[in-house]
Chains A and B, each alone.
Chain A
Amino acid sequence: MGMPTGRLAVWWLLVSEIVIFGGLLAAYVMNRVSHPEWGAQAAHTNTWAGAFNTLVLLSSSLSAVLAHKAASEGNGPKAARLLYLTCLGGCVFLVVKAFEWTHEIREGFVLQSGGFWSYYYTAAGLHGFHVIVGMLVMLWVASSAKRNEDLHRVENVGLYWHFVDMVWIFLFPLLYIAK
């Protein structure tokens, strides 16, 4: 096929992720369309927090692709530093999400509070889980990249991270903008 096995495997993984997130988001959209009252519930989400987190993930995607570039130039230590920076972005994202959820739960909006909140916590939670997994894999890849070993993995973990970013690009308007 003329493609490194690891990268091919990541693409297959992403195809399966499209089906997972795609099914979830499609289910949300079809229910959202038939429940206009969910707009009033969505009005309780914090648009500014969602926008800030979008900025954080877009920026972390930038550092991930710059790590890929550094790796392609054979500069493992620089790639590792950029991967650590990407992980920092993931941490900031999760901290903001934690504050958001804390506030919403204190307001009485929990998983069982209605259809909108069921989807909100499920979709954002599943996405957050992917962020955590991505960060853990990235730390592992960075630990070998800084020794200039297995630099091809930098691109592979970057592909996964960009996908996680892309999922959030669609979650943001669905959960924070459409009110």
Chain B
Amino acid sequence: MSAHAAAHAEEHHHPNYVRIWAILVGLLVVSVVGPMFGIRVLTLTAAFGIAFVKAYLVAKNFMHLGVEKPFVRWVLALALVMMVLLYAGVSPDAGRGSGERWVKDAGWHRLAPAAKAEAATEKK
């Protein structure tokens, strides 16, 4: 056994990766099928709830975060908290289309030619 292999054996045990992959694929199928029912709550739950579950499974099993040094988990958590703070701080303004003496118009409401044609057809 090489020095790397010996050091590694002390750190990790390897779960059944194929089984975890199969669970991830099953979750992918649910996230695609769920929105087909056209129920908004179900769509959001199937799409985003499952995304978080999939990310958790990848982080825990493939990235071995469960057995990684606590320092790593804390730093990653800090980065995620920063992201939430960014969202909480900016979204009250960014979520609005206009405010006192300002209007958000960066050309985002222009439509592509195909979308324009589609919109025109819908009007008819």
Contacts and interface: CB of A to CB of B under 8 A. Distances in A.
A72 B5 contact: yes
Nearest to A117: B112
Contacts of A65: 17, 61-62
Nearest to B6: A74
Nearest to A160: B63
A30 B44 contact: no
Consensus secondary structure, chain A interface: helix
Nearest to B22: A62
Consensus secondary structure, chain B interface: helix
A77 B51 CA distance: 34
Interface stretch (A16-24, A93-101, A127-135, A136-144): A16-24
10 contacts: A11-B75, A18-B79, A23-B83, A51-B28, A58-B28, A73-B5, A114-B108, A169-B54, A173-B51, A177-B35
A53 B63 CA distance: 20
A147 interface: no
Interface string B61-102: 111000001011001101110110011001100111100000
A113 to B, nearest CB: 4
Closest 4 CB pairs of A and B: A173-B47, A22-B83, A115-B108, A113-B112
B44 to A, nearest CB: 7
Interface of A: 1-3, 11-12, 14-15, 18-19, 22-23, 26-27, 29-31, 33-35, 40-41, 44, 47, 51, 54-55, 58-59, 61-62, 64-66, 69, 71-74, 107-110, 112-115, 117-118, 148, 151-152, 155, 158-159, 162-163, 165-166, 169-170, 172-173, 177-179
A2 B21 CA distance: 30
Interface residues of B, number: 59
A30 B107 contact: no
A151 B114 contact: no
A74 B2 contact: yes
A159 B82 CA distance: 22
B75 A54 contact: no
Given A12-B75, A173-B47, 5 more contacts: A11-B72, A71-B5, A108-B115, A166-B55, A177-B47
Interface centre among B25, B63, B95 (most CB of A within 10 A): B63
B112 to A, nearest CB: 4
A30 B95 contact: yes
Interface centre among A15, A152, A155, A169 (most CB of B within 10 A): A169
